[in-house]
Amino acid sequence: MNNSSALFAQFQRRLSTAGGVAHWAEDLAQAAEMIATHPALAEQRLIIPPAFAACQPWGAILPLLSARGIRLEEAETPERIADAPAGLSCAALAIAETGSVFLADNALAARIVGMLTLTHFVLVSAGQLVPLLDEAATLLQTFTRPGPQQQHYISLVTGPSRTADIERTLTIGVQGPRALCVIVVASPAPGDRSLSIQEAKDKSDEP
């Protein structure tokens, strides 16, 4: 894992420049532990995952979180989850060059967890950690290809929301989350059904 640890170190450094935090987890259990013990959940042990169905590949982490006393509430409407302590998303890609994660979700419910909650947790498989933004271009091409699989709303998220509009004073946390925590999971299996880039491409190439 030498190569990927160097890549992770770079990803971590860049994300931290952008005001976010990156962690490495060996498996889902460790990732669940990190979330459960995160200060964001200290007071209110509640996290908003995307609609369970949309979170399929990473669904296996949900029982692990419940087992650690974290309440899971599905994001149904924006009103309901506004300013909830934490949201959970899964990314299709993490990019070391910029410390960005690639989030593709057509469902509004899946997206608002990263828009309206206070701390945004993002899970991404170590296999999807790539060096350069150019990989994002390739995946964007694939994901936006017409058809039932077309992804209409994709975001590269690089750190928490920020502003320096007033006297150039950097303030973290404006309209979006105040903290971003990306957990790179070495082996999300069992239950890892996230697609590698190549698989995704192959899939969308199917007629």
Partner 1 sequence: MSHKEQSAHVQLLAAQRSATEPASAVHDVHAMPPFAERLQRGLSDEHMHRALERFAPSWRQSRQALFEAAETEYGSDYSFANLRQRLRSAKDEAIAHQEELVTRFKERATAAGAVVYEARSAEDANRYIYELCRHKGITLVVKSKTMVSEEIELNHYLEERGIKAVETDLGEWVAQLDHERPSHMVMPIIHKTRQQVGEILSRATGREISRENVAEQVAVIRREHRQAFLTAGMGISGANALIAESGTVMLNTNEGNGRMVTSLPPVHVVLASYDKLLPTFADAITQIRLLARSATGQPMTSYTTFITGPDRPGKEVHIILLDNGRSAMRADPRFREALRCIRCAACANICPPYQQVGGHAFGYIYSGAIGLVVTPFHHGLEAGAGPQSLCVSCNACETVCPVEIPLPSLILDVRSRVVANKGLPWLKRLIFGTLARPRLFGLLTRLAALGQWPATLGTPYVRYRYLRLFERLPGIGPLARLTRWRSLPAFALRPLRDRVGSRANLAGARQERRRPEELTVCYFAGCMTDRLYPEMGEAVIQILERCGLRVVFPRAQHCCGLPALNSGDRQHGAAMAKQTVRMLERALDESGADYIVCASTSCVVTLIQDYLRLFEDLQLQSWLNRTRALAGRIMDFTSFLLRVLVAQQRLPALRRPASGTAPVVTYHDSCQSCNCLGLRTEARQIIRDVLGLELREMTDSDVCCGFGGSTSIEHPEIAERLLTRKLRHAEETGATLLVSDNPGCLMHLRGGVDANGLPLRVLHLAQLVAEYLP
Could you tell me which of 156, 182, 161 has the C-alpha nearest to residue 8?
182
Nearest to partner 1 of 66, 141 (CB atom): 141
Q: Which helix (H) or strand (E) holds 97?
A: none
Nearest to partner 1 of 97, 192 (CB atom): 97
Work out how close the CB of 186 gets to partner 1 at its nearest, in angstroms, rounded to a whole number: 24
Nearest to partner 1 of 15, 32 (CB atom): 15
Neighbours of 81 (CB within 10 A): 20
Could you tell me which of 126, 122, 120 has the C-alpha nearest to residue 96?
126
Work out how close the CB of 137 gets to partner 1 at its nearest, in angstroms, rounded to a whole number: 4
Work out how close the CB of 110 gets to partner 1 at its nearest, in angstroms, rounded to a whole number: 10
Dig out the tokens for 86 from the structure.
Answer: 């934490």
Q: How far is 81 from 73, CA to CA, in rounded Å?
A: 9
Nearest to partner 1 of 159, 188 (CB atom): 159
* Start-to-end CA span in the chain (Å): 36
Work out how close the CB of 9 gets to partner 1 at its nearest, in angstroms, rounded to a whole number: 13
Interface ranges with partner 1 (CB under 8 A): 14, 17-18, 78-79, 82, 97-100, 106-108, 111-112, 115-116, 132-134, 136-138, 140-141, 144-146, 150-169, 171, 173-177
